[in-house]
Each structure stands twice: as structure tokens, then as C-alpha cells.
Amino acid sequence: MADEVLVKVDHVSKKFCRDLKRSLWYGVQDIMSEVTARKYEHQLRKDEFWSVNDISFELRRGECLGLIGPNGAGKSTLLKILNGLIKPDKGRIELRGRIGALIELSAGFNSILTGRENIYSRGAVLGFTKAEIDKKLDAIIDFSELEEFIDTPVVNYSSGMQVRLGFAVAAQMEPDVLLLDEVLAVGDVGFRAKCFNAIYKMMENAAVILVSHSMPQIGRVCSDILVMDHGTSVFQGQDVATGINKFYSYFQAEDILVSGSGEATIHSIDLESNGKTEVETVHYLDKASMHIEVSVDPKIDIFDVVINIVSQELQPVAYCNSYFNQTHFSNSNTKMKISVDFGKICLSPGIYSCTVVITSKDNGKALCKHNNAYKFNVIGDHFCAAPVQIWGDWTVKV
């Protein structure tokens, strides 16, 4: 049972039409083709495009597939096909067992019914009897943390409350296949942590497909990965780190944004590693240093330099401030080249950008600030959900 295939997708494709009127006409043609049993050629007609094109994979009990890609890649369409909401134009899908899905924030709830009534409705759809739902009701309500609102119509729920209830039903009903589309992007930190714990538990007896733009989430729970672009698979397999790097390759760094009081000027920023300057790629655990050329207004006697490093997710991951270790710089009234040694780069593989700020020592005022000043890529043969990895010297005593 442990290696039982619960999801089998075999060369699945789905096309849509950009023009509404033409789409309706094509729909009539397709229905007539099926009714008359005529051979239907699945070729693109005018204004049609493949939203999902020739996707195949298998997922076993205990596995979690991360489905990622840029917006418009076809991820949500594929999930809706898997859930039976739309019909594929080509290919075959086999799903075994109970299917739990959170594809929309409303999670398929009836907005005029209360939370409690929707629990019974969703349970019935999943194939549970009323007696079975009765046994699970308290656990569902407790997990959702919606005791005060469980008898309130769902139409009055916030999007976060709807996700809480939907995930609680999916988790406690113990589906064999669980489909999740960006639902963990909503809700507070505590509830997201509870959801991850529930996913880990469900993965012991279920197959999970998770659509997310959060690569830390993907790296944290997924055993397999499928990267889509314009409906096609561009990478798939168990090498989650490579898949995430492929996802990041679709995005370019933002332009440099200069701000501050104007009392300082940053002329250049350069990253050095392995004796090479202006590097854009750093290997994990290689040493690196940054060189900054700056000139400061003569009215400023002493200044500091601040470097913020943010991930592709725009999350701050590292902070370096000369003020903290009492390394202040005296203004020479000429162009100055300031260097800082970062030591070993212990960042998880991915793309990072630096923001460099020149500040006044006296009041901390930003004299010059370059947002997105320098982009670099950390490469390695692994990926960790944590952006910073501590390099430890391990010992053992017997």
C-alpha cells in the first residue's frame, strides 16, 4: 500500500479560446462531435491556445508534488482538471480514493449555509455518512479555530476564515488525494504552521499536490516537483532544488531605486569571490566580499554603511551594519572604496539582491540608498527551506 499510485496523469492537455463568442461556438461544435461520435481532431483553432499541454506524472501514497511556475503557466487549470471541475481535451487521469481539494478560497462552500452545515455538505461530497461526520465534527471545528463563528453563514467569513474551515475539513476527513492551490498564502503564521503539520501527517497515507509561489513552502514539504511554463512541463522529478532554481530563472531583478537625502553618492558596487570581481554567481560556502565606492558631502564627518540582503521572495535574510561592530568611516572628502568581508556564504541556493545604504553616524539618517543594488545567485546541490544555513563543526565523543 505504501507505494500505491494514487494519481496517474497521462499526456493530459486542455485548450481555451481567447474570444468568448468563438469559444461558445467551438463548444457547440465539440458537443456535436461527441454526440455524433465523429472523430474529433484536437488541433488548435483560431484564437485557441493550450493552457495545459501534454502533462504526465504519477504520485504515490506518501508523496507530495510541488506544482510551480510563473503566472499563467497552467497550474491552476491542471488542478481543476484533477478535481473534475473541467474536462481535459486529451489524455487520461486516474485518481484512487477520496479526493480533498482547496482550489478556491471559498473551498466549494455554499455561502448561504453556516460553517457547520458546510462541514456536513463537504463531508457528504467526500463520501462520509452523517454518523462519520458527527464523530469528526468537534475535531474539525477545533482545528479551524472558528468555534465562535461556526453557526454563522459562510458569506460573512473572511477569506482567511474560509481557508481555515476548508483546510480543517480536508485534514480531518483524511483524503487519499489532497489538492492545494495557494491556500497556505492566507492566514496567520500560527495557523500556517498547523497546516504544515497536518500536511506532514496526511502525507503518511495520502498523495498531496501543492501549488504555491512560495519556494520555502515547496522546499519544506515536497518530495517531487513539476515546473510548468505556458502549459508545458519544463522540469520534473525529485530534484526539488533544481526545480526551484528553474522557477527563479523566469524572474529578473528589479531596477535599482535610488533614494536618501542626497548627501552621499554610491558610484559602484562590486561582489568578489575566488579572486574574481563583478561576480553574479557564488558557490555555497565560497568566501565573498563586497566593495563599495562612495563619496560623502563634506558636512558629514563620520558615516556608516548598511547592507541588506533579501531573497527572491523579498524576505530579508541577512543584515550587515558597520555601526554594530563600531567600524565607522571618517569622511576623506574624496571618493572612498569601502570593503566588507562576508566570509563563507551560508545562504541556501537561490537568487538574492542587496540594498546598500550610507547613513550618518550622528542620527542614522539615510544619506544615500540603493535598493536592488546588486543581484547574485548562490548555487549548490541542495535546497533548504531556511534561507541561512549554519555551518557547524561537528564532533562526537564515545
**C-alpha distances in Å from residue 301, one per residue of 307, 325, 367:** 20, 18, 12
pLDDT of residue 81: 92
Instruction: Report domain extents, the chain.
Output: 5-11+52-248, 257-379
pLDDT bucket at 221, cuts 50 / 70 / 90: confident
- Average of pLDDT values for 360-372? 91
> Hey, is 144 helix, strand or coil?
helix
- In this structure, the dihedral spanned by the alpha carbons of residues 78, 79, 85 and 88, taken in order and rounded to 10 degrees, is 20
Domains 5-11+52-248 and 257-379 equal at CATH topology level? no
The residues, ordered by sequence, that sit 6+ positions from 161 with a Cβ below 8 Å of its Cβ are: 146, 149
pLDDT of residue 160: 80
Most confidently modeled range among 31-35, 69-73, 347-351: 69-73
pLDDT bucket at 31, cuts 50 / 70 / 90: confident
**C-alpha distances in Å from residue 152, one per residue of 34, 149, 183:** 44, 5, 22
pLDDT of residue 264: 95
In whole angstroms, what is the distance from residue 145 CA to residue 227 CA?
Answer: 34
What confidence tens digit (pLDDT) does each residue in 288-298 have?
999 999 999 99
Report whether 230 contacts 73 (CB < 8 A).
yes
Most confidently modeled range among 43-47, 99-103, 289-293: 289-293
pLDDT of residue 126: 72
Average pLDDT along the chain: 86
pTM (2 decimals)? 0.73
**Amino acid identity, residue 291?**
H
Kindly tell me if the per-residue pLDDT of 234 is higher than 80: yes
Report whether 349 contacts 239 (CB < 8 A).
no
DSSP character string of 92-111: EEEE-S-EEEE-STTTT--T
Q: What CATH fold (topology level) applies to the domain 5-11+52-248? A: Rossmann fold (3.40.50)
**b or e along 164-203 (b: 16 or more beta carbons within 10 Å of the residue's beta carbon)?**
bbbbbbbbbbbbbbbbbbbbbebbeeebbebbeebbeebb
pLDDT of residue 39: 60
What confidence tens digit (pLDDT) does each residue in 199-219 have?
788 878 889 999 988 887 888
pLDDT bucket at 383, cuts 50 / 70 / 90: low
For the domain made up of 257-379, the CATH class stated in words is mainly beta
What confidence tens digit (pLDDT) does each residue in 114-164 have?
999 999 988 887 778 889 899 999 999 998 889 999 999 998 988 788 888
- Average of pLDDT values for 318-334? 90
Kindly tell me if the per-residue pLDDT of 192 is higher than 90: no
- Average of pLDDT values for 165-183? 82
Most confidently modeled range among 100-114, 161-175, 381-395: 161-175
Report whether 9 contacts 55 (CB < 8 A).
yes
Which of 8-17, 312-321, 343-352, 377-386 is predicted with the least confidence, judged by mean pLDDT?
A: 377-386
Phi, psi of 216, rounded to the nearest 5 degrees: -60, -40
The residues, ordered by sequence, that sit 6+ positions from 346 with a Cβ below 8 Å of its Cβ are: 284, 285, 388, 389, 390, 391
Q: Is 218 exposed, middle or buried (0-12, 13-18, 19+ CB in 10 A)?
A: buried
- In this structure, the dihedral spanned by the alpha carbons of residues 183, 210, 196 and 317, taken in order and rounded to 10 degrees, is -90
pLDDT bucket at 105, cuts 50 / 70 / 90: low
pLDDT of residue 107: 55
In whole angstroms, what is the distance from residue 376 CA to residue 279 CA?
Answer: 7
DSSP character string of 180-224: EESGGGSS-HHHHHHHHHHHHHHHTTSEEEEE-S-HHHHHHH-SE
